[in-house]
């Protein structure tokens, strides 16, 4: 703010919260993200993917119909800020993802997250080039134009460890290379049991988000193995969005995958259900949570447990020679079989 004083008037600046298709941020969340000084000085707006006149149609970029936030498109100077970590189907977060799906209309996001893209083997942790999701995201960011980009890496306590700035794609590539070195680890063989988390609050605020921790574990669990996921889920499934409704519409993970593959349209949150079902087609998934009842966990096609130590003990008793992997930070520590 000190750099901008006297150069840019406060009324000339708008801070866009790139919520994608998710709910708007609360007052408390905005205060935690931005601080009172920013909130009292500049306009802060949550993106609304269903915003109607708040979106502008930019036509097709490749095979994706692009609608973006009007405030973003009509700005004279566009700056993105983000956090880079491995992402379970976009390769890495941050960078061009701030534009789309961060500031994209629902139609754009649904196309970026359709079953074909999400089901592609290259739409996975740590892969950008050749990833059909990230390839489209980069093309949209370039078409819109980003004047300056800033991304950071964070440690376990959410402190900034490295910062990268400049032209968005070059900056993001450098940040991804460092994130890959710090957050991804090769292992020599799959494991019988993988114990994971979703890296604590706020990342484990609901079961929808906890699918990321399950996906990280699935990278190194053997076919037919077991995953134990610990996630608080204080926000439930959550109640908003289509995730819960889609889960409850299927009889089993296999049935969910068949329904998604057969559907001619992409439904919001379908991608999370698709990935969860894909994980469950590979391994048994047990969930320890305080935010959901046992019947709610079972209705999501998962197995509830109350005590992780007890569950691990039973597993070891049944499989004395089992190989076990523990991912304390869940989706922020991504193993892969070399």
Q: How far lies 85's CA from each of 39, 152, 180, 210, in Å?
A: 27, 9, 8, 16
Region of 199 please: left (phi>0), alpha (psi -120 to 50) or beta.
left
Q: Which residue has the tokens 């292992």?
A: 187
Region of 184 please: left (phi>0), alpha (psi -120 to 50) or beta.
beta
CB 233 within 8 A of CB 197: no
Q: How far out from the chain centre does Cα 175 lie?
A: 17
Strand partners, 46: 17
The DSSP code sequence of 269-295 is THHHHHHHHHHHHHSEEEEE-SSS-HH
The residues annotated with a catalytic role in the active site are: 22, 87
Task: Tell me how far apart the 2 most distant CA atoms of the chain are, in Å.
Answer: 69
Q: How far out from the chain centre does Cα 320 lie?
A: 35
State how beta strands 334-337 and 324-327 pair. Answer: unpaired
Q: Which residue has the tokens 């994130």?
A: 179
Of 133, 83, 131, 81, the residue nearest 103 (C-alpha): 81
For residue 133, what is the enclosing H or E element? helix 132-144
CB 198 within 8 A of CB 276: no
Q: How far out from the chain centre does Cα 14 lie?
A: 25
Mapping DSSP to helix (H, G, I), strand (E, B) and coil, where does residue 65 land? strand
Taking the C-alpha atoms of residue 243 and residue 330, their distance in angstroms, rounded to an integer, is 21
């Amino acid at each position: 703010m000190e750099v901008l004083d006297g150069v840019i008037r406060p009324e000339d600046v708008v801070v866009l919260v790139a919520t994608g298709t998710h709910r708007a941020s609360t007052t408390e969340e905005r205060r935690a993200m931005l601080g009172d000084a920013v909130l009292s000085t500049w306009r802060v707006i949550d993106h609304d993917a269903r915003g109607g006149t708040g979106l502008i149609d930019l036509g097709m970029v490749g095979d994706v119909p692009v609608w973006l936030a009007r405030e973003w498109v009509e700005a004279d100077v566009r700056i993105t800020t983000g956090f880079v970590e491995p992402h379970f189907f976009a390769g890495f977060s941050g960078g061009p993802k701030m534009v789309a799906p961060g500031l994209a209309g629902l139609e754009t996001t649904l196309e970026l997250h359709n079953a074909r893209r999400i089901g592609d083997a290259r739409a996975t942790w740590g892969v950008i080039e050749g990833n059909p999701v990230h390839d489209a995201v980069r093309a949209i960011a370039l078409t819109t134009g980003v004047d300056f980009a800033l991304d950071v890496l964070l440690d376990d306590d959410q402190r900034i460890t490295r910062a990268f700035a400049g032209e968005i794609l070059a900056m993001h590539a450098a940040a991804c290379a460092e994130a890959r070195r710090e957050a991804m680890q090769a292992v020599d063989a799959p494991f019988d049991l993988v114990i994971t988390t979703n890296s604590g609050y706020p990342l484990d605020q609901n079961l929808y988000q906890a699918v990321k921790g399950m996906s990280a574990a699935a990278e190194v669990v053997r076919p037919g193995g077991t995953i134990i996921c610990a996630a608080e889920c204080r926000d439930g499934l959550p109640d908003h969005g289509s995730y819960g409704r889609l889960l409850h519409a299927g009889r089993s993970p296999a049935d969910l995958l068949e329904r998604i593959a057969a559907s001619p349209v992409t439904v919001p949150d379908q991608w999370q259900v698709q990935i969860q079902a894909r994980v469950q087609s590979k391994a048994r998934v047990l969930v320890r949570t305080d935010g959901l009842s046992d019947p709610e966990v079972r209705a999501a096609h998962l197995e509830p447990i109350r005590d992780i130590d007890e569950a691990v003990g039973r597993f070891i008793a049944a499989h004395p020679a089992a190989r076990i992997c523990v991912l304390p930070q869940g989706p922020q520590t991504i193993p892969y079989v070399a």
